[in-house]
Amino acid sequence: MNTPSSLPHRLRETSFRKYETVLAETVKRWPAPITVSPKEIDLSPTTYSARFRDAILSLQQYQWADTVVDMARFCQIADDIVVSHQGDLVIIGSAETVKPNTHFGGDWPINFVKHVEISSHEFSEALNQPSVKLVEATLLGLHHRIIQGPIRFTNVDILDSLMSTWESEYDVSVTLEPDGTLTLL
């Protein structure tokens, strides 16, 4: 069995988790393509493409537990996922939807996906007294149907103004109980 330190860095679970949410969205929208702007996380399109391909390989080989990726669907399509880039953008999808757009100057799809990193390990530890940043990342994942609710945070100290902002910006139900439990659905 491979231990985390015996694997090449590019195939470790921590490396996979950085691309997990985008891979989950790829599987969910398959065969429709998605577009990512790697500049959001200070990576070049070439580097992002290579690391995303490594994340696919890592999940195929090691089938990491507690992933948000639909594994049944992923196993069916993993070998057919194409990752390409042009200019500042990366496009991910099936060969039929990606290649015509990259090689023949076709229009790129408008299906932008924001790159969000949430490590499962960090996520489970942070359910108690979450930061505003973690709650907002979770809201974004729920809004785009990358993760499924309900998600409950305990010992939450959030301002009412944030609650109303979240409810208006995201297609997510936000409830704060008197005991400090925040439920996102």
Average of per-residue pLDDT across 119-137: 64
What tokens were used for 42?
Answer: 């200070």
Q: Is the pLDDT of residue 142 over 90?
A: no
The stretch 31-48 carries a mean pLDDT of 87
| Same domain, yes or no: 97 and 35 | yes
Flag whether pLDDT at 126 surpasses 80.
Answer: no
Rounded CA separation 15/8 (Å): 10
Hey, is 183 helix, strand or coil?
Answer: strand
Token code pair at residue 181: 């439990």
Q: Which residue has the higher pLDDT, 134 or 105?
A: 134
Judge if 99 and 135 occupy the same domain. no
Backbone angles phi, psi at 30, to 5 degrees: -50, 135
The answer to the question of residue 21 being in a domain is yes
- pTM score > 0.95 for this model? no
Q: What is the mean pLDDT of residues 31-58?
A: 90
Asked, for residue 9, whether it belongs to a domain, the answer is yes
CA 145, 147, 150, 154 torsion-angle sign: negative
Q: Could you tell me if residue 112 is inside a domain?
A: no
Instruction: Say whether both 39 and 99 belong to one domain.
Output: yes
Average pLDDT, the chain: 79
- Lowest mean pLDDT: which of 43-47, 58-62, 135-139? 135-139
Whether residue 90 contacts residue 25, with contact meaning beta carbons closer than 8 Å, is answered with: no
Whether 11 has a pLDDT exceeding 70, the answer reads yes
Which residue has 């997510």 as its token pair?
A: 172
pLDDT of residue 139: 84
Let me know whether 93 and 156 are in one domain: no
Question: Does one domain contain both 142 and 97?
Answer: no
Does residue 82 share a domain with residue 44? yes
Summarize pLDDT for 68-124 with one digit per residue, the tens: 899 999 999 999 999 988 888 888 988 887 865 544 444 444 455 554 444 444 444
Residue 13 shares a structural domain with residue 96: yes
53 — pLDDT class (breaks 50, 70, 90):
very high
Going by the DSSP 8-state scheme, the letter that residue 6 receives in this structure is G
93-98 contacts: CB < 8 A, separation 24 or more? 93/26, 93/29, 93/30, 93/31, 93/32, 93/33, 93/34, 94/30, 94/31, 94/33, 96/31, 97/31, 97/32, 97/33, 98/33
Is 118 within the bounds of a domain?
A: no
113 belongs to a structural domain? no
- Residue 55 pLDDT grade (very low, low, confident, very high; cuts 50, 70, 90): very high
Q: What's the burial of 99, exposed, middle or buried (CB within 10 Å: 0-12/13-18/19+)?
A: middle
More confidently predicted of 185 and 5: 185
Residues 146 and 65 in one domain: no
Listed range (16-20, 22-26, 173-177) with the worst mean pLDDT:
173-177
- Is 70 contained in some domain? yes
Is there a single domain that holds both residue 32 and residue 71?
Answer: yes
Mark which of 37, 70, 103 sits at the end of a domain: 103
Same domain, 98 and 134: no
In the chain, how many domains are there? 2
- In which domain, by residue range, is 166 found? 126-184
Mean pLDDT across the stretch 32-41? 84
Q: Would you state the pLDDT for residue 173? A: 83
- Which pair of tokens denotes residue 20? 């997990």
Residue 140 confidence (pLDDT): 81
